Structure 1
Amino acid sequence: MLETLHLPAPAEQVATDHAVCYPPTAPGQDTVLEPLSPDRLAEDFLALTLPGHQADYPAQLWASTVSTTLLARESNRTARVWTSRAVTFLANAAERWPHLGPRHLFPLLRADPQLALTAGSAALTALAGLDDIDPALLEAIASRFPEERHVDLDIGIASVASRLARHRLAGTGNPTDRAAIHHDLSIRLFNAGRHEEALAASQQAVTLYRALPADQLAPQDSDRVEANRGISLRSLGLRLYQLGRWSEALDATEEAVTILRRLAAHDPNGFRGELSAALLDLSRHLSRVGRWTEATARVEESVERYREPAASDPVAHESGLSASLGGLSICLTHVGRWDDALAAAREAVSILRRLADRSPARYEPDLATALHNLGADLSRLQRMPEALAAVEEAVAVNRRLAAANPAAHEADLADGLTSLSLRRLAAGRRAQALAAVEEAVAVYRRLVAGTNPAAYESSFAEGLLSLGFSLLFSAGRVSDALAAVEEAVAVNRRLAAGDPAAHEHQLVVSLAGLAGLRAETGTDLTEALRAVVESLTISRRLEENAPMDVMAGLTGTVREVSTRLAVVLEAAGRGREAAELRSLLAR
């Protein structure tokens, strides 16, 4: 291509020179003509223009005050529109040009640390990577960080937090201080989607808090250490849950609730919020291992504990109440209380709409989750147009968040797309349903091919199951549909072998789905019979340890598929097998 342009220099030389300034974005790839981003030529020209370098190029004396002039705030103290680009350019260039930071950029940030946040996540990440930046300057910038997550800044905040954590840990040997540093870092890493690193930091915090001899401390110090231990265990549970280690998450959170409940008994107001949040987490972890009745009890307690403080201090507690209401909606659905579930979901969405209007960067992820729950509840009550509208709104939010920070939000987008596909299929929009679930499965497949497949495999299997039925009913692609559902069964079988309590329910669903798909298409009825018998066997074993209200939906699905398959077998002249299946159902 370059040769066709008749350039004055050989094409190979042009490509080589370009690659020096713009190397391949993926290390190890032998690509050329990478896009001019970041614009290294512009950064280098900027560095050469500003005084202080030793290169054989004349700096411009007039440029000495340009940075200060450009980044000075408007008369009303608002930042100028080019602040983000200017700070990001200077920070990126400072990595290669050592005069830019100390002489031009750092003095500006010392005078106005908020400029770093105004510049955005990319600028914060670049600043954190500069070897010569003063930790005191990073501390000044960090002091302006929002306490909660901020979807537009989380990646950059995590970069600064990681750099400062190393500095802070090097400066203290106090185990309490070191534990707090690890705990705070875990939160920032988690918000940025750096889940494995967040888990490692959380584990360090718990280890340090466990080692503190609470029984040898004064009562007030002992309570503080116990509280920190409980809070760090709750955080550890969340990190484990995010990575698909659900049984371990349950163990950590049960211990956290025990500690926080004991402290709340002596100081209800002091520990109400932490205990309420831990109860919600415990409910989520119990539900993941199929213990829905216990999960419902815990989340109902969480909602009850949040209501009074949320009424008296909504700014501090409404967010927690909305999260608990969302969890309650899910639990009530699984124990058959659909109308109550819908009421809880509506209240959660109402609260989060108000909060997201005030602070979208903080609450939009929660609003998307609440809208998904609302859509599912509306769908179960056959209110399809409302259900579809709620899920479409949620996916729009998920897509915007995933574009800003894929590591933190892409899995939520895939979950939302799977839900959207089901809602569209129910509304008769088959082609759009298929497009949504195909996109979801593509995202899941990429995630399970990454460094932590366990975190996404269960959702991947759900997406594959939805894909199978959408391929059949939307496009009539029988062989592709069967391949997708068989892959879902294989994934769930592997997961159930490792953790039966957490995954056998989904194995039953996917086996029933495979049997139903084969019955619907009349393909390999022997395999369909084998799948439905296995599904029945597992579901009946699960019934022995689970309340009837929890198992009703699962058992009903298996029975419905079995009944349909018996009809198909009989029509195919396999009356004896049909009779045996009906006999098995009657037992």
Structure 2
Amino acid sequence: MLHNLGSQLSRVGRYSEALAAETEAVSIYRQLVEQEPRAHIDFMANALDGLAVALGGEGRHREALVFSEEAVGFLRAGAEDNPGAYEPLLANALLNLGVGFGESGSLREAVRYCREAVAMSRDLAFASRPAHLPLLARSVMNLGIWLGESGFHQEAVDFSENALALFRELVGLDSESHLPDLAEALLNLGPRLAHADRPVEGGEACGEAVELYRRLSSDSPVVYRRKLAIALINMGNVHSRQQDPAGAVECFREAAELAREVAEDNPGAGLPILAGALTNLAGQLSKAGLSAASVTAAQEAVAIRRPLAEADPGAHEPGLAAALVVLCDVLSGVGRHEEAAKHGARAVAVLQKLAQTAPEAHRLHLALSLKSLGRPLTELNRLHRAVTVAEQEVEVWRRLAQADPFGYEFELGVAQDRLGDLLAQVGRHEEAVMVGEQAVALWRRLEHPAADLLLVLALGNLGGPLSALNRYEDLIATGEEALPIWRRLAREDPATYRPQLGHLLILLARVRCSLQHGLREALTEAEEAVEVFTALDA
């Protein structure tokens, strides 16, 4: 009775009451198991699992793991003697254990146990589909979640789409029971599709998730406000990608309001979501030019994340790092570079540690944090430190691009351009040329709408270090390669690109004159430069 009561209380979000009931149930079953071990294994395991669920609902994920692991241990022993009776319970316990590890930041273990749950529940559903399809669907969905969090994005999409199909099948059989599961499947699939460069489908999934959670929340706000807040954060990111800042801000603000309400009743469940909403809101407000508001939101997000990360680093350090990166960006955007550098350095340190143990999950965020840190360091004229950071950033982007060229070569090229410029500023001209030539080679072959512009800018960046090394013939060669592209760009957008064309023509003419050869070409280029600047003055 106590375990059943605890389960019902957890289902309606009353986790503190559920915790009391499940704790008492576990205490009673421990005594019974001591007297008759085999007679009470299933009851004991269910009570332990229920206690873990209640603790997880309170945000106490590390404590929950202890009881989840104990439940799995009991059920493995039972399944050895009686597979038919215990395997369904074991599959469910494995799923809960996987989720617990994921919520605690132990992603490898999360994927491992969710895979085992999927394999076991598939076998069960094959033997009796109606009885075990809900467990299979939940297992597949959670495996997709933790694969995505671990950086295995395509596999995550595959499992998430499979889970959605299974839940749609279940809703067709029993809409009332499985509508919350369908909403959760959509909640998880939307961001996965967006990351897989399927933004339209991702946006549709996020929108449907918001719609379903609004409906569910209107009937049971205590149970579904938290998930509605998460769905709104996802929808805000959809608006952001669609260049709709007003829509994004509206979603993030509503998500923050809902998360505050959740946090009043259940800080462990509500505060992480509130911090996530504020982090996203800060970034969007900064893009909209609302600098003061963006700094306030980012500072609150970091203030929430710090104590959470101190109490449970595995669960909350990734969120703290994300909040610190945004705070670094918005502070740098308002000229507070010293503070920005401090927070950026802290974010890098956290993500370097995380990337050592789970590189697939954290390498991208590490690259972005290094990029953010480089800006205030450059503004503070700490160029040697900025070079070190840029070198690290290029190396991380290089590793990402090796695994996914389509996804990350663009960022690699931008980082190489930035590193080359910094190397030139500190007088390391040979290295600047080497890095710059790597960037030029990348822009030559990359298919991207901005590739031509980035190519001529990279060629231009080579000018300074080539000149410093007295490599004037190479300087002329880079200018000659850039010249026809600048001419085309100037024809397409005269106001923007004619000045660059004119300056390149003057540079080429001067270098040829200094070398005392190619004087006819120099004269032609000087005459064209005059025409270009005359047209600008007209």
Could you tell me how far 1:448 is from its partner in structure 2? 1.9
Q: 1:392-432 deviations in whole A, cap 9, x for unaligned?
A: 10110001111211122212211111111112112221111
Q: What is the rounded CA distance, in whole Å, between the counterparts of 2:3 and 2:89 in structure 1?
A: 26
- 1:542 matched to 2:400: yes
In structure 2, how many angstroms separate the alpha carbons of the residues matched to 1:428 and 1:400? 28
- Compared CA separation, residues 405 and 530, structure 1 to 2 (3 A): same
> Are the structure 2 counterparts of residues 164 and 212 from structure 1 closer, same or farther at C-alpha, using a change threshold of 3 Å?
closer
3-state secondary structure, aligned to 1:456: helix
Which deviations, in whole Å up to 9, do the C-alpha atoms of 1:182-209 show, x marking residues without a partner?
1122112221223222111111100111
CA distance in 2, matches of 1:496, 1:145: 37
Partner of 1:230: 91
Is the contact made by 2:2 and 2:22 (CA closer than 8 Å) also made in structure 1?
no
* 2:339 counterpart of 1:480: yes
What residue number does 1:336 align with?
A: 197
- Is 2:139 aligned against 1:281? no
Instruction: Say whether residues 1:435 and 2:296 are aligned partners.
Output: yes
User: Displacement of 1:160 after TM fit?
Assistant: 2.8
Q: Please list the CA deviations of residues 467-491 of structure 1 after superposition, one character each: whole Å capped at 9, or x if unmatched.
A: 1011111x31111101111111111
TM-score relative to the length of structure 1: 0.70
1:556 matched residue in structure 2: 410
Residue 140 to residue 459, structure 1, CA distance change in 2 (3 Å): closer
Q: What is the DSSP-based 3-state SS (H/G/I as helix, E as strand, rest coil) of the residue aligned with 1:146?
A: helix
C-alpha contact 1:512 1:558 (8 A) present in aligned 2: no
Correspondence for 2:184 among 306, 316, 323: 323
SS in 2 for 1:258: helix
- Aligned residue for 1:176? 42
Asked if the contact 2:393–2:415 (Cα under 8 Å) also holds between the matched residues in 1, the reply is no
CA contact (8 A) 2:106 2:314 kept: yes
Aligned partner (choices 176, 199, 207) of residue 73 of structure 2: 207
Amino acid at match of 1:467: L
Residue 521 of structure 2: aligned partner = none
The answer to whether the 8 A contact 1:522-1:568 is kept is no
**Secondary structure of 2:11 counterpart:** coil
Contact 2:6 2:18 in 1 (8 A): no
Give the aligned residue type for 1:465. V
Taking the aligned partners of 2:10 and 2:268, their CA distance within structure 1 comes to: 18
- Assess, with a 3 A threshold, how the Cα gap between structure 1 residues 154 and 406 changes in structure 2: closer, same or farther: same
Is 1:505 aligned to 2:371, yes or no? no
Please report the TM-score for the alignment, with normalisation by the length of structure 2: 0.76
| Structure 2 unmatched ranges of 5 or more | 443-538
SS state of the match for residue 476, structure 1? coil
More helix by share: 2
Alignment of 1:511-550 (within 5 A): 511-519=370-378, 521=379, 523-544=381-402, 546-548=403-405
Q: For 2:111 and 2:339, locate their aligned partners in 1 and report how far apart those are by CA, in whole Å.
A: 37
SS at match of 2:8: coil
User: Is this contact kept in 2: 1:212–1:225, CA < 8 A?
Assistant: yes
Structure 2 counterpart of 1:469:
329
1:418 touches 1:440 (CA, 8 Å); kept in 2? yes
Matched, 1:197 2:63: yes
**Matched residue pairs, number?**
436
The Cα shift of 1:559 comes to 2.9
**How far does the alpha carbon of each residue in 1:227-261 deviate from its partner, in whole angstroms, 9 at most, with x for none?**
11111000001111111111111111111111111
Counterpart-to-counterpart distance in 1, 2:3 and 2:118? 35
Q: Secondary structure at the match of 1:257?
A: helix
Percent pairwise identity: 28
1:192 partner amino acid? E
Cα deviation, residue 517, structure 1:
4.1
Greater shift in the superposed pair: 572-581 or 288-297: 572-581
The correspondence for 1:245, drawn from 106, 116, 119, is 106
Corresponding letter in the other structure for 2:267: P
Q: Tell me the distance in 2 between the aligned counterparts of 1:320 and 1:508.
A: 35
In structure 1, C-alpha distance between the alignment counterparts of 2:79 and 2:24, rounded to whole Å = 30
In the other structure, the counterpart of 1:258 is 119
What residue ranges of structure 1 are gaps of 5+ in the alignment?
A: 1-138
Counterpart residue identity of residue 456, structure 1: H
C-alpha distance in 2 between matches for 1:194 and 1:537 = 37
- CA contact under 8 A between 1:194 and 1:408: conserved in structure 2? no
The aligned residue for residue 150 of structure 1 is: 12
What's the CA shift for 1:576?
4.6
